[in-house]
């Protein structure tokens, strides 16, 4: 076989980063896995941002996903599960680097545009919803379903969810329900709905921006392609959601739903009953603490503490087993009931890590 033929058979990299005109394009390139992000991909994104930040010809960053299914289905859960099973340290390493990257994206000095088309979940939210310009479409399906894995909405999810109107973020964080594009704008996870058919034209326009274009220029350009939608179906449910999820204890949330005889309340209750009781209690506490927090970084430090405790827990392994490995959708949670989750069980998720705390390099 000639060397040219051999080269043509080489697989494409899982992360493609290149300059196209004025845009530094970052493409997640694992379409068969809906672009689930690996540790190496997080590192490659960080290196690409170094390069694009230093390049005066790059005026805007564009994050996109390869394939038709979505931007990103989340982190590489299977790899985390396998490491957790052997008491490995992938969680400690991956989440540290991922969360530092999430904070960097939020503070990036050049306009950062995320195309949140199709499926956007978990780690994909972390790479996109902290961007300065967040574009959703008529195909967007955005969710933070981590409580169904014995986990909680991380990657700065507690910061984002706690800033949604009323208790909308509490609802999405605990139920893991999916937002459409307009829901995501209403919940303040996104800025503009652009029809998916117009993304290629918007993409081309972004590459043609003058290098010194600022956030106002980029926002104006995106709005020119947008539908102007500001509220999806969930906005109409705001009154009920605020009443059900206004409580600081999961038992009180359950009680409020049980008192309400409506079909929606009962279906919400059924959804919550499928989640990890411990995961729900930890999530609600994280969301309430996030409301009092002054920064994304403060929330990420707290999330990192909780994530390491989750990584060592039976609930995480059981949740991933049921959803991803065996796919029987029948996790056996520990403890099995919300009433059995004690303060002593929850306390370790919020304990200081001492020298192991998450620390941000603010030189980037």
DSSP H helices, 68-145, are 77-85, 90-107, 123-128
Q: Which of 74, 123, 181, 226 is catalytic?
A: 123
Q: Could you confirm whether 146 is annotated as catalytic?
A: yes
CB atoms within 10 A of CB 327: 9
Residue 305 CA to its chain's centroid (Å): 18
Q: Is 82 a catalytic site residue?
A: no
Of the candidates 160, 159, 199, which has an alpha carbon nearest to the alpha carbon of residue 289?
Answer: 159
In terms of C-beta density within 10 A (0-12 exposed, 13-18 middle, 19 or more buried), how is residue 24 classed?
A: buried
**CA pair distance 123, 288, nearest whole angstrom:** 21
How many other C-beta atoms are found inside a 10 Å radius of the C-beta of residue 31?
14
Among the listed residues 75, 91, 124, 319, the single catalytic one is: 75
- Beta strands 112-116 and 70-72: pairing type? unpaired
Closest CA relative to residue 297, chosen from 46, 103, 96: 103
> Of the residues 154, 191, 297, 318, which is catalytic?
154
| 3-state SS class at 157 | helix
CA atoms of 291 and 345, how far apart (whole Å): 23
Catalytic residue among 117, 146, 167, 303: 146
Q: Verify whether residue 154 is a known catalytic residue.
A: yes
Q: Is 118 marked active-site?
A: no
Pairing label, strands 60-65, 112-116: parallel
CA 116, CA 46: separation in Å to the nearest integer? 19
Which residues are annotated as catalytic? 75, 123, 146, 154
């Amino acid at each position: 076989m000639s060397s040219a033929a051999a080269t043509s058979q080489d697989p494409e990299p899982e992360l493609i980063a290149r300059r196209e005109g004025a845009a530094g394009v970052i493409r997640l390139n694992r379409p068969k896995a809906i672009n689930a992000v690996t540790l190496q991909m997080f590192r490659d994104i960080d290196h690409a941002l170094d390069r694009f930040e230093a390049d005066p010809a790059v005026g805007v960053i564009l994050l996109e996903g390869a394939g038709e299914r979505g931007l990103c289905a989340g982190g590489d859960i299977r790899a985390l599960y396998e490491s957790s099973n052997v008491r490995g340290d992938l969680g400690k390493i991956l989440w540290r680097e991922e969360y530092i990257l999430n904070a960097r994206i939020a503070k990036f000095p050049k306009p950062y545009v995320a195309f949140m088309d199709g499926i956007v979940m978990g780690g994909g939210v972390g790479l996109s919803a902290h961007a300065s310009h967040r574009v959703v479409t008529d195909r967007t399906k955005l969710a933070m379903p981590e409580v169904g894995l014995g986990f909680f909405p991380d990657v700065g999810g507690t910061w984002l969810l706690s800033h949604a109107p009323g208790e909308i973020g509490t609802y999405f964080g605990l139920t893991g329900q999916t937002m459409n594009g307009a829901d995501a704008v209403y919940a303040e996870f996104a800025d503009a709905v652009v029809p998916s058919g117009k993304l290629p034209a918007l993409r081309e326009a972004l590459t043609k921006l003058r290098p010194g274009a600022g956030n106002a220029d980029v926002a104006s350009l995106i709005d020119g392609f947008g539908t102007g939608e500001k509220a999806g179906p969930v906005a109409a449910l705001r009154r009920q959601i605020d009443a059900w999820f206004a409580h600081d204890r999961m038992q009180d949330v359950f009680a409020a739903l049980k008192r309400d005889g409506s079909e929606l309340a009962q279906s919400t209750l059924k959804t919550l009953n499928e989640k990890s009781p411990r995961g729900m209690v930890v999530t609600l506490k994280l969301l309430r603490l996030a409301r009092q927090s002054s920064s994304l970084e403060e929330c990420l430090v707290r999330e990192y503490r909780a994530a390491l405790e989750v990584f060592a827990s039976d609930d995480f392994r059981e949740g991933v087993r049921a959803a991803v490995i065996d796919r029987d959708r029948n996790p056996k949670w520990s403890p099995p009931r919300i009433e059995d989750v004690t303060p002593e069980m929850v306390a370790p998720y919020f304990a200081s890590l001492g020298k192991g705390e998450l620390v941000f390099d603010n030189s980037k």
